[in-house]
Amino acid sequence: MISSLLGKTPQTDQRDPAKTDFCYYPFFQVLLSADGKYMPCSHHDNFMIENGNELTVKDHTIEQAWNSEYMNRLRDNFLKNIRSAGCNQCWREQGLGLKPMRYDSYGYGITEEQVQHPTAPRRVEINASNVCNLRCRICGPHASSRWIKEAKELYKREQAELHFNMTAENQEIIRSWVPHFDQIGFFGGEPLMAEENIDLMRYCVATGHASHISLLINTNATIYTEELVTLFKAFKNVYLNLSIDDIGPRFEYQRSGAKWDEVLQNLTLYTQHGGYQSTDQLQVKICCSVTAMNIYYFPEYFEFMNAHFPGLPVFWNMVYAPADLSMQIFPAEVKKVIEDRLRTQVTATYEFQELRTRTVDNLISFLNGPISTGFQNFFDHIHRHDRFRHESFADTFPELWSLIRSYDRSGA
């Protein structure tokens, strides 16, 4: 099926991510995006393209994407240790001295047989739709239905619409792959709102395959039901990543529509059914998207987590887009203030471990990285959405606003 790969054996050092640019992801997974397109992984810059056109769920199945020339070419490049342009996010992080996402691909135990003969994926990442109950500042209509009206009115994005990606064909194909799966990833939209995802979990349990499948779920932590917990307990492992970027009113500003007290209650409930260690069947972790909005407040953030959930791992996801909200957008003197706060005020009692979080040095390395977007773009972006939402960044983030307000040339 994939003849271009047959007979090619990577050199030994291609199994060491520090020595080459090899990545396993294209050899064992395929991703169905929230806006109905296909990608090799969530860090990839491009959607899959065939004959100059993007592959979409309207015209292509997930199996066609898995077997596409785009995927074959990407696999072939990795086998030859050639960098593909679509992987630029990893190359940028690598250039900053960080361990990029491709390092994670080495943790799935992928065999040489799977590399040489990737006939069926071992992992699928499903964004069943863009249906969501939140309107997060870092998001957009591609991944949240709550964003559609705002995107149309502020940016004239008339193409913004609801996307339902688990077509009957895709559901049938994914079910046929279930016996091969080691892991299923559910993303969104809000994945725990998607009945298609719940049905797939029920199918895995009913057919007896749940016991060899792990689930990776990125959820906004607004949904908790007893049925979900019952389903989770049937799987080999469940890695439950809760998107919590801040605390209190700052959290509610960044994750509009969420209620801090409700999210805190759900976090408590989920942790009661599992834990924070690799030996726990249900492992809870926080995924914090790091932006210009919350990086200043990390000392307070970690102080809260240490006090209420000691040992709970918090993984920092560095936000590139929208660039207007990247923490790299700050001028050098503001970055210096933030760096000093991170070095002196983030509690030393928090346990920093690989894949559980990044270190303060990792954060600072990214913070000080270059960006082509001017700082005024941050203010323009914030003011534009504050007006639409009738919110106030200055009132919600008074300490940070006091530090940066003199740079704002908009007069808002």
> Mind listing the pLDDT tens digit for each residue in 210-221?
999 999 999 999
Q: Which of 118-127, 294-303, 342-351 has the lowest mean pLDDT?
A: 342-351
Instruction: Give me the pLDDT at residue 359, please.
Output: 77
Instruction: Give me the pLDDT at residue 170, please.
Output: 97
Residue of 403 and 13 predicted with greater confidence:
403
Site of tokens 């590399």: 115
Average pLDDT of span 346-372: 72
Residue of 11 and 123 predicted with greater confidence:
123
pLDDT averaged over every residue in the chain: 91
354 has pLDDT over 60: no
Instruction: Give me the pLDDT at residue 357, please.
Output: 55
Instruction: Give me the pLDDT at residue 349, please.
Output: 44
Q: What angle do CA 361, 365, 371 make, to 5 degrees?
A: 160
For residue 287, which of 239, 344, 342, 236 has the smallest C-alpha distance? 239
92 has pLDDT over 50: yes
Q: 388 phi and psi, to 5 degrees?
A: -65, -40
Do residues 177 and 124 lie in contact, with contact meaning Cβ atoms separated by under 8 Å?
A: yes
Average pLDDT of span 282-293: 94
Contacts of 382 (CB under 8 A, 6+ apart): 393
Count of CB atoms situated within 10 Å of the CB of 82: 11
Instruction: Give me the pLDDT at residue 15, please.
Output: 75
Q: How far apart are CA 231 and CA 263, in angstroms?
A: 21
Percent of the chain with pLDDT strictly greater than 90: 77
For residue 317, which of 377, 373, 242 has the smallest C-alpha distance? 242
Instruction: Give me the pLDDT at residue 382, please.
Output: 98
The top-scoring range by mean pLDDT among 31-40, 48-57, 106-115, 198-207 is 198-207
Average pLDDT of span 356-366: 77
For residue 176, which of 120, 92, 254, 117 has the smallest C-alpha distance? 120
Q: Which tens digit of pLDDT belongs to each residue from 159-191? A: 889 989 999 999 999 999 999 999 999 999 999
DSSP-derived pairing of the beta strands 135-136 and 255-256: antiparallel
In order of 5, 53, 167, 246, 363, the CA distances from 104 in angstroms are: 23, 30, 29, 25, 18
In order of 184, 202, 213, 232, the CA distances from 176 in angstroms are: 13, 15, 14, 21
97 has pLDDT over 90: no
Q: How far apart are CA 222 and CA 263, in angstroms?
A: 5
Helical ranges in 156-259 per DSSP H: 168-177, 195-206, 226-232, 248-254
250 has pLDDT over 50: yes
Instruction: Give me the pLDDT at residue 148, please.
Output: 96
Instruction: Give me the pLDDT at residue 355, please.
Output: 45
Q: Which tens digit of pLDDT belongs to each residue from 13-26? A: 457 898 889 999 99
Instruction: Give me the pLDDT at residue 351, please.
Output: 52
Q: How far apart are CA 97 and CA 91, in angstroms?
A: 10
Q: How far apart are CA 181 and CA 236, in angstroms?
A: 12
On the question of a cis peptide bond just before residue 189, with omega within 30 degrees of 0, the verdict is yes
- Mutual angle of helices 148-155 and 376-389, in 10-degree steps: 120
2 by DSSP, 3-state: which? coil
Do residues 44 and 96 lie in contact, with contact meaning Cβ atoms separated by under 8 Å?
A: no
Q: Which residues of 399-412 are buried (b: 16+ CB within 10 A; e: fewer)?
A: ebbebbeeebeeee
Helical ranges in 30-104 per DSSP H: 62-66, 69-79, 88-95
The top-scoring range by mean pLDDT among 90-99, 223-232, 279-288 is 223-232
For residue 241, which of 129, 152, 125, 145 has the smallest C-alpha distance? 125
Instruction: Give me the pLDDT at residue 47, please.
Output: 95
- What's the start-to-end Cα distance of the chain, in Å? 59
Q: Residue 325 gets which letter from DSSP?
A: G
Residues 17, 21, 22, 27, Cα dihedral to 10°: 120
Output the CA torsion sign for 119, 67, 91, 217.
negative
Instruction: Give me the pLDDT at residue 13, please.
Output: 43
Instruction: Give me the pLDDT at residue 154, please.
Output: 96
